[in-house]
Amino acid sequence: MKIAICAVTYRRPSCLRRLLEGLNALQLPEPTPDIEVVIVDNDPDRGAEAVCSEIRDRFRWKLRYELEPRRGIATARNRALALVSDDTDWIASIDDDEVPEGSWLAELVRVQQETGADVVAGPSLPYFAEPVAPWIEAGGFFEPQRHPDGSAVAYAYTGNVLFRASILADGRFCPPFDERFALSGGEDRQFFQRVGRAGYRLHWADGARVHEWVHASRANAKWLVHRMFRVGNALALIESELEPGWRLRSRLFARACAEILSGFVMLPRAWLRGTVASVRACCRIASSLGMLWGLLGGKSEGYREIHGS
């Protein structure tokens, strides 16, 4: 089995160094798969090149570094997939601000072998490197949605996923990541939803855990509300692309309006209950406003801002 592990990075050398050290410490079953790591730098100044150079001599796997000067996360992801060797069987993807547990890849492979899945996804768990306000952890705002191990899922994200390389040969996914989502995000969920709708099987590996470093600039109410606006916005854009027509748009419009009304009704009681409830109510409103903005053709480009270093 040959596996390519792909990651894209943009001006976060410390994050990339942690990721590469984590990949270097992976514990793999026998027979050990043939591993290739592909790093695509989206920084025209090639800020990640030095990090890759300094670790290459002691890196256990083949390490490939390439530049994609055109700005955009979807563009960089497509570049990474284009660099994967032709004889690759499986492609794994992880984000540059994450660190895998030692069993991460082995768990993804285990679930694939047990289920016969074409795509296997796992959880990205938050890691707070600096102290955060107690309500952040109490509210679980950074906790991912979890599923029973081996269960079927409808979509996946590139922060923690393994998929058949042969999917890329399917003409329905060319290019795999829609570059119209270059700075807005959501291109990964859209791709894997398209893959699922095309008949490929997606399953969940709950033991395939990675840890996402949550920078202090993200651990606050303002960022959380903005994130939910982006999430709602991306959802509207994705669903509108997958199912064009007025019927879906009407359903999404009605849903967004109902959620906004519900959120405003919740606010007075939420303020009395404390910060967690208040932020949840504001996030609910923000997500629905983002959805409305997406239905009108607006796009929130959250990837213009860098968090971490």
Q: Which tens digit of pLDDT belongs to each residue from 230-252?
A: 999 999 988 888 888 888 889 88
Helices (H), the chain: 13-24, 49-56, 73-83, 104-115, 134-138, 187-197, 221-242, 246-273, 275-295
- For the ranges 29-33, 37-41, 268-272, the lowest mean pLDDT is seen at 29-33
Which DSSP symbol is given to 171? Answer: G
Confidence check: pLDDT of 213 > 90: yes
What pLDDT shows up at residue 303?
67
If one compares 35 and 296, the residue with the highest pLDDT of the two is 35
Confidence check: pLDDT of 308 > 60: no
Residue 266: phi, psi to the nearest 5?
A: -75, -25
If one compares 303 and 125, the residue with the highest pLDDT of the two is 125
- For the ranges 77-81, 109-113, 184-188, 283-287, the lowest mean pLDDT is seen at 184-188
Give yes or no for a contact between 5 and 104, defined as CB atoms under 8 angstroms apart: no
Give yes or no for a contact between 6 and 84, defined as CB atoms under 8 angstroms apart: yes
- pLDDT above 90 covers a percentage of the chain that reads 76
Q: Spell 221-246 as b/e; 16+ CB within 10 A means b.
A: bebbbbbbbbbbbbbbbbbbeeeeee
The closest of 175, 190, 273 to 239, measured between CA atoms, is 190
What pLDDT shows up at residue 276?
95
Average pLDDT over residues 183-199: 91
What pLDDT band is residue 266 in, cutting at 50, 70 and 90?
Answer: confident
If one compares 10 and 240, the residue with the highest pLDDT of the two is 10
- CA–CA distance, 165 with 87 (Å, rounded to integer): 9
What pLDDT band is residue 300 in, cutting at 50, 70 and 90?
Answer: confident
Question: Whole-prediction pTM value?
Answer: 0.91
Contacts of 253 (CB under 8 A, 6+ apart): 292, 295
> Tokens 């607006």 correspond to what residue?
298
> What average pLDDT does the structure give for the chain?
93
Alpha carbon 76 to chain centroid, angstroms? 14
Confidence check: pLDDT of 286 > 90: yes
